[in-house]
Amino acid sequence: MMATTPCPLPSDYDEPCRHAEGADVSVLPRIFDSDINMAILRRRLPLDVEAGARAQCQADKALSVSWLGPPGDGLRGELEHHLHDLHTSAPLIEDILTLADAMAFLFDTASVGLRLRCLEAAMCPRFHCDNLPVRLVTTYSGPGSEWLPERAVNRQGLGAPKPGKPDIVTYPSALQQVNTGDIALLKGSGWVGNEQHPLVHRSPELAVGQRRLLLTIDPA
């Protein structure tokens, strides 16, 4: 099932939402549509993948893994070296490898840039857009990324804050959030033809003591 859902904007809103979402993997190639700047695959994480994610967030030692290269045995070895509780984490590793393979296949590249981090605070709390073509984002534990539909954004407010700069958010009620486990492809300003409409998003706030396990993958 695949759909482009309406955004909760005022009645005078006359521009279609620039995102697509659905529960079938076929929604992800919608990112190649010229009028789409975000594609979301809705999914519920398997219980064993959730257990692996919890193991990372509950560990005393902080987790931060970076990888640039092919999504194969080298990446597997890097994940096995860094992740906590390897037995419990095995299904999580397989899920990450599957997403890395899918990203490489979808964008016809031999290498990916991958980062897996357990965060205790919002990494990018201010609304922004990425200066790259596209990024895969998924949250294995904790709240997902927040984002704004096009007509809820005043792009003049983006960038470093300074006196007199307008607010970025024009319709606070339009704020959207990706669910935990969902896979989101976000177009940035580096996507040819999308320079004026990169997706505007931010990291969610975390409660005291809460942790977030975040995976990002870029074609490289």
For residue range 59-87, list pLDDT tens digits in order: 999 899 999 999 999 999 999 999 999 99
Count of structural domains within the chain: 1
Residue 63 forms part of a structural domain: yes
* Full domain range(s) for residue 29: 19-219
Residue 169 has what DSSP assignment? B
**Lowest-pLDDT range, 6-10, 78-82, 90-94, 153-157?**
6-10
**DSSP codes joined into one string, 130-155:** -SSSEEEEEEEES---EEE-GGGB-G
- Contacts of residue 77, Cβ cutoff 8 Å, sequence gap at least 6: none
**Contact (CB, 8 A) for 74 and 68:** no
171-217, pLDDT tens digit by residue? Answer: 889 999 999 999 999 999 999 999 999 999 999 999 999 999 999 99
Q: What whole-number distance in Å separates Cα of residue 3 and Cα of residue 30?
A: 10
Identify whether 3 is part of a domain: no
| Residue 128: CATH number of its domain | 2.60.120
User: Is residue 159 in a domain?
Assistant: yes
Does residue 30 lie within any of the structural domains?
yes
| Tokens encoding 112 | 């990916």
Encode pLDDT of 126-173 as tens digits: 899 999 999 999 999 999 999 999 888 888 878 777 787 888 888 889
